[in-house]
Amino acid sequence: CALQPTECFLSQPEGKQESTVKAKRRKKKKISDILEKSAPKPGVPADLQNLLSQHFGENRSVIEIEELKLSGFFIAVCPKWAKLRKNHKEKKSVVMLVICSSALRSLELIKSMTAFRGDCRVLKLFAKHIKIKEQINMLEKGVFHVGVGTPGRVKALVEQDGLCLNSTKYMILDWNWRDQKLRRMMDIPEIKKETVDLLEMCIIKLCREGSVKLGLF
């Protein structure tokens, strides 16, 4: 007898199809995932220099990039702090400017600075719950020695002539501190951009002139 042709279908188990779909939907690696597997290295001055070179490298000439170099301007301590604090009498300025990634971190640093700051006056320079006009009025009326805040608000104060950095001697970047997601300030795009803008606006020029010393904390 002749054999009747039969239809044959190749089927894939349902579980296998699901696993294939899941494999395609792999999650993007987050910085927190990477940092959890390796001990974070503390930042060094070369990190900031490399950041500036990479940020401006595509649209700046060799001469302009050379002008951004900060070699020799970094510090570890403030040896003349007591004297500088005592002699500071100018309004609309601070002797030391500390840049952080958030208002909350700024408050933490202000609390931890108690022993160092002595009897000097500290001004909060961030946007959370504080209007920029209030900060401008305080700078115009009083003498402050230390300013602690975020790069965005500090930049806005400088642009509005509320804060003058010509009397500033030290600028400290809160470089190595990490938030709950294990991000440093330069890992946050907005904070990174605002910090670089602030550096380019006036800090790099003051560093090259020798009036400001730049440090990483």
pLDDT tens sequence across 149-207: 999 999 999 999 999 999 999 999 999 899 999 999 999 999 999 999 999 998 989 98
Does any domain span residue 57? no
Does any domain span residue 118? yes
User: What tokens does 39 get?
Assistant: 């001990």
Does any domain span residue 173? yes
Does any domain span residue 183? yes
Does any domain span residue 56? no
CATH code, domain carrying 141:
3.40.50.300
**DSSP code, position 200:** I
Q: What average pLDDT does range 135-139 have in this prediction?
A: 97
Tell me which residue range forms the domain holding 125: 90-216
Half-sphere exposure of 122 (CA within 13 A, CB side): 19
Burial 35-58 (b: 16+ CB within 10 A, else e): beeeeeeebebeebeebbeebbee
How many domains is the chain partitioned into structurally? 1
Does any domain span residue 66? no
Does any domain span residue 27? no
User: Which pLDDT belongs to residue 185?
Assistant: 94
Q: How many CB atoms lie within 10 A of CB 196?
A: 19
pTM of the prediction? 0.70
Does any domain span residue 22? no
